[in-house]
Amino acid sequence: MLPFAVAFRNTPRGVLVDAVMLQESDVSILFSFTRSYFHVDLERVGEAVLFLHSIMPVKPVSELFTVLGRAKQGKTERFREIFRHLGATKDHFVRAPGERGLVMACFMLENFDVVFKVIRDQFPAVKNVRREEVMAKYDLVFRHDRAGRLVDAQEFRDIRLPRKRFAPDMLAELTGECALNVRVDGDDVIVNHAYVERRMTPLNLYLRTATPEQAELAIMEYGQAIRDLAYTNIFAGDLLLKNFGVTRHNRVIFYDYDELCRVTDCRFRDLPAATSDEDEMRAESWFYVADNDVFPETFLQFLGFEGRLREVFLEKHGEILEAGWWRSLQERLHSGDVVEVLPYHPHRVRVASSA
């Protein structure tokens, strides 16, 4: 069995075969957890899932149900997958790799491919966001075009998990800092509300062990992720590398949504020039900054790119550091222009059709 996927495009000249995909990795991206669902009217969805699983054996069945527009069935299958794994292993729930989240407590089963995210009871002052706003942002992602750059976060409620399988430090963090959502009931831990996402390698950790070639490709992917999101009217907000992950296909994906917003809701500003040496030495801005103000020129200051990686980013994606690029994109979005983000590589095959 080999995958065979054809992408057709409507053009003024007629129907065009825009791409032909014959590799499992290419077809897998079409059915990715980072893309919008296919809403397919099928009499027997299970048969379609079995077929798709035969050509994409690495992809979980739960995700195939979900991507075909059967979100509830997908959640049921994922729940079953989690408990099958618990029954077949001695894995514990431990803290997910990466920097500790300020808004979410993140944990995972040691050898299972998902992450559980629970909203903390309180956020530090640097996070100017409320719990309801965080949930609204996840809901936006669920309904929005994810463009292959946002993780599909499944919302679960009232999950009962075995207490003995939690690492002590993880359980202490959940019951101490997420008490509104997590409680212990005898031998079980009850999670009242959580988001479950596919696990990825945080980009900042990936770069520590990557070869120079892998690191350069990851940085180009990182910049392209910011672009692709912007084309679909999404500004990630917090562009720190720790908020992006790397998939098994080496695609860079954004997964931290607490500062996410629409591009059209931002005000992209050029950085005002300092009027004196004292202004340049100030720890805080000497000019007024509103909540929706964004200064693209400052992005590089906190990303930590050095040497060759900085050069690669500036060469490939330097224009996203310019407020003018963002304002121009805002004009296109306001005018109703749909900027296409393809789920495949457009150079695969281009053959004119006689249709």
**166 lies in the same domain as 280:** no
Q: Is residue 121 a part of any domain in this protein?
A: yes
CATH number at residue 326: 1.10.510
pTM: 0.86
| Local structure of residue 145 (DSSP, 8 states) | -
Express each pLDDT in 87-127 by its tens digit. 999 999 999 998 888 999 999 999 999 999 999 999 888 88
Domain count, the chain: 2
**151 lies in the same domain as 177:** yes
Active-site pick, 18, 145, 152, 256 = 152
Based on the residue annotation, tell me whether 152 is a catalytic residue of this protein: yes
Q: Is 148 left (phi over 0), alpha (psi -120 to 50) or beta?
A: left
**112 lies in the same domain as 194:** yes
**79 lies in the same domain as 178:** yes
Are the CB atoms for 30 and 5 separated by under 8 Å? yes
**206 lies in the same domain as 309:** yes
**156 lies in the same domain as 270:** no
At residue 96, φ and ψ (nearest 5 deg) are -70, 145
**240 lies in the same domain as 150:** no
- Return per-residue pLDDT of the chain as tens, 355 residues: 788 899 898 889 999 888 888 888 888 888 888 888 887 788 889 999 999 999 899 899 999 999 998 989 999 999 999 999 999 999 999 999 988 889 999 999 999 999 999 999 998 888 888 889 999 999 999 888 888 899 999 999 999 999 999 999 999 999 999 999 999 999 999 999 999 999 999 999 999 999 999 999 999 999 999 999 999 999 998 899 999 999 988 999 999 998 899 999 999 998 877 665 555 555 556 555 677 888 999 888 878 788 899 999 999 999 999 999 999 999 999 998 888 888 887 655 444 444 3
Provide the residue range defining the domain that includes 292.
201-334
**240 lies in the same domain as 161:** no
Domain termination site, one of 198, 221, 245: 198
C-alpha–C-alpha distance, residues 3 and 159, integer Å: 36
Angstrom distances, CA of residue 232 to CA of 136, 144, 157, 227, 292: 18, 9, 29, 9, 18
Express each pLDDT in 308-319 by its tens digit. 999 999 999 999
Residue type (1 letter), 207: L
**162 lies in the same domain as 285:** no
**192 lies in the same domain as 217:** no
